[in-house]
Structure 1
Amino acid sequence: MSIQDKIKEIEEEIQNTPNNKMSQHHIGKLKAKLANLRMQVAAGKGSSKGAASLGYSLKKSGDATVVLVGFPSVGKSTLLNALSGEEISPVAAYEFTTLTVIPAMLLYRGVRIQILDVPGLVAGAASGKGRGKEVLAVLRNAELLLIMGDALKLPQIESIKKELYDAGIRMNEIPPRVTVEKKIKGGIYISKQPGCQLSDNEIKSVLNEFGYHSADVTVKQDITVDQLIDHVAGNRKYVKTLFVVNKVDLLKNKKSLPADYIQVSAEEGAGLDNLKEQIYQKLGFIRIYLKPPGREPDFVNPLILPGDATVLNVCNKLHKDFKSKFRWALVTGKSVKFNGQRVGIDHKLLDEDIITVVVRE
């Protein structure tokens, strides 16, 4: 029996097993086995074609990378051209127009956002169909995914969600607060936060399936068996995601769309301003304006930093020696009580703060 046959068999067993307290241990064990098999597929095992071919080679640029994900002919290329303001990606009224990764740059609010148009996903991409492994490798390196669906074919989005989930990509999730420290002997010791619904037997069955027979386990939140498997598997990628519905101009009742789906018509240019703003907000960047001592702030070329940035991040961006030579910083903006407030290197910054870094000579 091939690995794919085993995966199908376990999926059917999970689907046909009633989900209740008595069956939770068994289902957890099946899910762990399923995760193990999918990891083997991702590693190229069980394929008659041998090792997987090399992925796409593309240099990341800009302040963040966003990848357009969708089935063929959903309008990714049209949207890429519309967002960048240039005709970079070829557009045609038939499937599989994009055969490689095509980059473009979106400039918005001083942020340079690299947008990648990858070949359309097909059913079975997580198992390598349609160059799925190469496409998924690009997705795993993105800061943000734009999952696109056709307004007249909304089930496409749910199909893509499943493909990405099967490939170990977790959309809009955060890693569970769990630690597993392997030991040579002594069995499995479990420490759980009060209220955690997972039983010790469920935890042990998952760990055993992944080869853990002695370990110290600390569960710091209420988690599901799927989250535990994700942690133990260790190859999950947690990526911010937006869901975009294209061709809404063809819909008669736009109110029927889910509230969290961003509505656009790439062909007509409708909804693009809102999409750009949503991309910017989801990436969570802040703009920091630099003010050299004795000079005016530079409002033209802001420093782009992650939303949780501190003065230390500014120092690291400016020069490798600024951290060791740091004395203090003067900050004006929303993160301080008054203009020109002196702060330390751990001070948390907010969007559009103005900063002067003072270092030793």
Structure 2
Amino acid sequence: MATVMQKIKEIEDEAKLAKLRRELLAPPSKGGGGAGEGFDVTESGDARIGLVGFPSVGKSTLLNKLTGTFSEVASYEFTTLTCIPGVIMYRGARIQVLFSAQTIYFVKGLLKIPEILQIVWIHNADIHLRYDATADDLIDVIEGSRIYMPCIYVINKIDQITLEELETLDKLPHYCPVSAHLEWNLDGLLEKIWEYLNLTRIYTKPKGMNPDYNDPVILSSKKRTVEEFCNHIHKDMVKQFKYALVWGSSVKHKPQRVGKEHELEDEDVVQIIKKV
């Protein structure tokens, strides 16, 4: 009997957690009340990354070292009580960093499908699993609001562990060891952030002038056509577009005349020729 009651309590706790999570993620209603306190930071820069983690693991120190943005540092938990934005300047790109004080929760235990459906208030459904799905996989499909992003596990305070422990950690995927306080391997972290963002730098070349290598146009690797390049400079440039001259690894000749559908590569140089 005790085991059954314990199981019921676990399901109730899971349901409460799911409800609180939905309230936290839900947008505020137009009526008087909202779904809870949150934050809104204006998006800026060429890319955006988030810095999250457990209390007192050195997030504030890391933010201070990477961006020069001040965030109070102390040895007690929850020193930072809001979302603090900062900017990393790296390889000509402005990377916005959002440091959130939100606590991360990890739910342990295995739930059966009927229990999961009860949590999300579904009482009648046909479920077909075509692979060995986890409880999180099922919840993601039901709610349809999850977006998975690339993640880097930053292992801080490596100055406090042995070389043998560091070699063990080195076997982890998506991992970067640092010491924010001593500024160890921060360059390696920036390199890995750049790798995971997968950005493309395109240099502009005005007619009759040398390329501008100091202020590249930053494009996503998924949207790096000449048309996207034009839209980043000015929304009306495509209307005046005739063709482009490109120097770099995306073309065989230097320069080569291309259309707006041409896909650019990192560190290409582009000159736009407009209609007369």
Shared topology, TM-score over 0.5?
Answer: yes
Match of 1:241 in 2: 151
Match of 1:146 in 2: none
Length-normalised TM-score, structure 1: 0.60
State the SS of the aligned residue for 1:328.
strand
Once the 2 structures are TM-superposed, how far is the Cα of residue 122 of structure 1 from its aligned partner? 5.0
Residue type at the aligned position of 1:233: E
Spell out the pairing of 1:1-361 with structure 2 (5 A cutoff). 8-9=10-11, 38=18, 41-43=21-23, 51-84=34-67, 86=68, 88-119=70-101, 121-123=103-105, 159=106, 209=122, 224=133, 227=137, 230-252=140-162, 253=164, 254-257=166-169, 258-260=171-173, 261-308=175-222, 309-361=224-276
Bigger relative contact order, structure 1 or 2 (CA pairs below 8 A, ≥6 apart)? 1
State how many pairs are aligned.
244
State the SS of the aligned residue for 2:149.
strand
- Preserved CA contact (<8 Å) 2:23 2:36: no
Residue type at the aligned position of 2:143: A
- CA gap of 1:322–1:210, structure 2 versus 1, over 3 A, is farther
* Alignment partners' CA distance in 1, 2:81 and 2:8: 31
Once the 2 structures are TM-superposed, how far is the Cα of residue 320 of structure 1 from its aligned partner? 1.8
How much is the aligned-residue C-alpha RMSD, in angstroms? 3.3
State the SS of the aligned residue for 2:196.
helix
Once the 2 structures are TM-superposed, how far is the Cα of residue 65 of structure 1 from its aligned partner? 1.6
* Alignment partners' CA distance in 1, 2:98 and 2:77: 18
- Preserved CA contact (<8 Å) 2:24 2:36: no
Once the 2 structures are TM-superposed, how far is the Cα of residue 322 of structure 1 from its aligned partner? 2.0
Higher mean C-alpha displacement, 111-120 vs 263-272: 111-120
**Among the aligned pairs, what percent are the same residue?**
41
- CA gap of 1:68–1:347, structure 2 versus 1, over 3 A, is same
Residue type at the aligned position of 1:69: V
- CA gap of 1:104–1:51, structure 2 versus 1, over 3 A, is closer
- Preserved CA contact (<8 Å) 1:82 1:266: yes
- Preserved CA contact (<8 Å) 1:329 1:342: yes
Once the 2 structures are TM-superposed, how far is the Cα of residue 212 of structure 1 from its aligned partner? 7.9
* Alignment partners' CA distance in 2, 1:346 and 1:284: 20
- CA gap of 1:326–1:247, structure 2 versus 1, over 3 A, is same
Deviations 1:159-204 (A, max 9, x none): 4xx59xxxxxxxxxxxxxxxxxxxxxxxxxxxxxxxxxxxxxxxxx
* Alignment partners' CA distance in 2, 1:44 and 1:89: 24
Match of 2:114 in 1: none
Higher mean C-alpha displacement, 317-326 vs 266-275: 317-326
* Alignment partners' CA distance in 1, 2:158 and 2:188: 14
Once the 2 structures are TM-superposed, how far is the Cα of residue 268 of structure 1 from its aligned partner? 0.8
Length-normalised TM-score, structure 2: 0.77
- Preserved CA contact (<8 Å) 1:73 1:120: no
Deviations 1:116-159 (A, max 9, x none): 22215154xxxxxxxxxxxxxxxxxxxxxxxxxxxxxxxxxxx4
- Structure 2 unpaired stretches of 5+: 1-6, 26-32, 109-121
- Preserved CA contact (<8 Å) 1:333 1:339: yes
State the SS of the aligned residue for 2:43.
coil
- Preserved CA contact (<8 Å) 1:248 1:265: yes
Residue type at the aligned position of 1:38: A
- CA gap of 1:102–1:312, structure 2 versus 1, over 3 A, is same
* Alignment partners' CA distance in 1, 2:48 and 2:93: 11
Once the 2 structures are TM-superposed, how far is the Cα of residue 346 of structure 1 from its aligned partner? 1.1
- CA gap of 1:39–1:328, structure 2 versus 1, over 3 A, is farther
State the SS of the aligned residue for 1:61.
coil
State the SS of the aligned residue for 1:289.
strand
Residue type at the aligned position of 2:245: L
Residue type at the aligned position of 1:248: I
